[in-house]
Amino acid sequence: MIDSHAHPEEWGVRPVLFHVGEFGVPAYSFFVLLGLVAGVSLYCFDARRNGRNRNNGAIIIFGAIAGGIIGAKALEWALNYQLLVAHFSEPAVWLSGRTIVGGLLGGKAGALLVKKAYGIREKRGNEIAPAVALGVLIGRFGCFFRGCCYGKPTGWQWGVNFGDGVLRHPAQLYEALFMFAMFLFLSYRQRTPGLRPGELFRLLMICYFTFRFLIEFIRVEPVVLAGLTSFQLISLAVILFFAGSSLFSNNFRENLHAGEL
């Protein structure tokens, strides 16, 4: 969340991307929407190519999108409750800001709830994972132009001035580059024979939250416990959960093949 009371009005590289008449199109909203459209389009393309373009897929992706929207906002509110209380009567403060961490977790929860409600047992994680990586990749450009999620001051030549005259790590672009690499890897891995159901989404979550844990050291975020930020603590919990579920799944499958279950 961007505290407008803490930053100058011109904060950001290009907060208004372009104008349509007198209406300024916000860079953040433009790229987030573009990322969502690109991700959903890729998911539908992969589902159709693999012969899985059925109603279940549409229901699952709808649940994931709805959960992602709710999660992105809910976690942002939870982490910035003091700012919300201080500016309780200002709608702009309540409406600003989202977090990709909440979006990913909320999207996963939304998909699981929809599958449970409709009795869907099939896993679509191998199709969803590259689409999520592509969506986050594009969305992070919105963060860069808007000036949120910025890094700490740096002396490196690619440091960016977001509006206060200080050259900072363009942490948003680092994450976009990482997600581009993940997108390429997941797209390649998707075509590898013997892929287990849901394997790519687990891999994406483990890799992304490992990256997020590390990049937090150069981002401007308050430390809350043991020298770690809230996002680092959440990242550790997510990594342990998905790594543990992956290990459990592998052990279960091995025991099943061995006739022990």
Q: What is the pLDDT of residues 85-143, one digit of tens each?
A: 665 666 654 556 668 888 888 888 888 888 888 787 777 888 899 999 999 999 999 99
C-alpha distance across the termini of the chain, in Å: 49
pTM over 0.85: no
Residue position matching structure tokens 């459990």: 248
3-state secondary structure 88-111: CCCHHHHHCCCCHHHHHHHHHHHH
Contact criterion met (CB below 8 Å) for 99 and 76: yes
Residues 81, 234: Cα–Cα separation, whole Å? 17
Which residues share a beta bridge with 23? 20
Least confident of 143-147, 160-164, 230-234, 248-252: 248-252
Percentage of residues of the chain with pLDDT beyond 70: 80
**The pLDDT of residue 239 is above 80:** yes
29 CB-near residues (< 8 Å, 6+ apart): 142
Q: How would you class 163 by CB atoms within 10 Å of its CB: exposed for 0-12, middle for 13-18, buried for 19 or more?
A: middle
User: Chain-centre distance of CA 198, in angstroms?
Assistant: 18
Residue type, 2: I
